[in-house]
Amino acid sequence: MNDLRNPLQHALGLGSAKEGVNHWWRQRITAVALFFLGLWFMALVLMLMHGDYTSVRAALADPLNAVLMLVFIIALFWHMQLGLQVVIEDYVHTRWLGVVLQIAVRFYAVLAALLAALAVLRIALGR
């Protein structure tokens, strides 16, 4: 049967679009931050490529490198969560499965970021 309703009728009740711009900006800001932090990370890896374990620990114990690594970790997992959120919203059409996947992705991102940050802090504080 043909549906003769106005296309606006299909969109009513689906929620407001007020969050979309903030999500877009957060994704772009984390992408720009990851670009510059990625350059720093690559330079650090190249400098430490032939170093031993002690030199790597000493480099991460430097306060500047420790802070930059923590910011890199936070931006990386935040950007990952934002990107996977968009993928789930676009391609998972079963409502309950989308909600479960969103919760799982957010839980994983927070847990992985905390574990990585804990590892950096343990190295930086010498424990």
How does pLDDT run across 106-120, given as a tens digit for each residue? Answer: 999 999 999 999 999
pTM, rounded to two decimals: 0.83
- What's the rounded mean pLDDT across residues 83-92? 96
Residues 6+ apart with CB under 8 A from 66: 60, 120, 121, 123, 124
Q: What is the mean pLDDT of the chain?
A: 91
Rounded Cα gap, residues 38 and 50, in angstroms: 19
- What's the rounded mean pLDDT across residues 92-102? 96
Instruction: Please tell me which residue, 84 or 1, carries the higher pLDDT value.
Output: 84
pLDDT in tens, 7-51: 666 666 665 666 778 999 999 999 999 999 999 999 999 999 999
Rounded Cα gap, residues 4 and 106, in angstroms: 40
